[in-house]
Amino acid sequence: MAQQIDPVGQLNFLELLEVRQKAFEGPLALLLELIKKHQVEIHEIKLALICAPYQEFLFLMESFDLEVALEFLDIASTLVLIKSRALLPILEPPAEEEGENPEEELKRKLIAYQENRRLSLLLGSLPHLGRDFFTRPFDLELAQEEIEEELTDLTSFRLLEAYRRTTVKRGFKKPHQVAREEFSVKDRVLELLGSLSPKEHRRFSALLPPDPAKPEVVLSFLAVLELTKFGALTLTQAEQFSELHLYVTPNFARLKQSYPGESGAV
């Protein structure tokens, strides 16, 4: 039986050199790079296939920090275990080895690491203070000069008098509660039915007081829409954002006698 050639494990010298030139944050970053080179999703690849190129990368590294080396060797031992299980016949695992499959556990770590790296790149693309925008430098010496003036001969009575003068100048007022005002669309419609006359033409602004509050404007507009819905008014506008004109229709008189109104507060 011919020996099956591992297409993933056969990295040529140039590919290994390219991988070696990159600075990896850790063994998971190296694994993602090896998987990426073969355009395979993490959950689809057999991690036993990248055991050989991973080991070759470790042999090519000239020096390792001890702590970093332990991380790489830990993943290497996991890959060797995965590869050995793939080569051996399928047997029932001993009771003491029952638990999560090492290959599935490593894939889960790779997926979590990949997502964290994606989020870190996303955060890195956001504007940064000192890189994308700047603030005016703070002059500490100038600020210290401004506060070097010493306050002398202060007593509690003088501070109290200064506070009293400040409140008098600013017209200090005691806090008060503002009661909520409720406006009824029905009542405003009835007001318009009583104030408008048949065949009358009026500008919308003429329905409002000289300095109307926002609730009054909204309420009047809703009332006009209500009358328009019943056919008692027609609305025209010369151009966008221009004055709104109201024209009373023949249905106005009939609606004035039969309008039921709708309760509701604004």
CATH number for the domain harbouring residue 212 = 1.10.10.580
Sheet-wide strand order for 244-248: 201-203, 244-248, 233-237
Clarify whether residues 115 and 189 are in a common domain.
no
For 71, the domain range is 13-88+100-123
For residues 220-252, one letter each, b for 16 or more C-beta atoms within 10 angstroms of the residue's C-beta and e for the rest, the string is beebbebbeeeebbeeeeeeeeeebebebbeeb
Q: What is the pTM of this model?
A: 0.36
**Cα–Cα dist 195/142, whole Å:** 67
Q: Nearest-CA neighbor of 222 among 177, 262, 251? A: 262
Do 232 and 249 contact (CB within 8 A), yes or no?
A: yes
Clarify whether residues 207 and 109 are in a common domain.
no
**Cα–Cα dist 120/159, whole Å:** 53
Clarify whether residues 38 and 118 are in a common domain.
yes
Clarify whether residues 116 and 216 are in a common domain.
no
**Cα–Cα dist 83/9, whole Å:** 12
Count of other CB atoms within 10 angstroms of residue 28:
19
**Cα–Cα dist 216/66, whole Å:** 75
What is the chain's pLDDT, residue by residue, as a tens digit (266 residues)?
333 434 344 444 444 444 444 556 677 887 788 877 767 677 777 777 778 887 777 776 655 565 666 777 788 888 888 877 777 765 555 555 556 688 888 888 888 888 888 888 888 788 877 777 777 766 666 655 555 556 667 777 777 877 777 766 555 566 667 666 677 888 888 888 888 888 888 888 888 888 888 888 888 899 899 888 888 888 888 888 788 888 988 888 888 888 875 444 44
DSSP class of residue 3 equals P
pLDDT of residue 111: 86
**Is residue 202 domain-resident?**
yes
**Is residue 4 domain-resident?**
no
**Cα–Cα dist 128/114, whole Å:** 23
Count of other CB atoms within 10 angstroms of residue 43:
10
Q: How many domains does the chain have?
A: 2
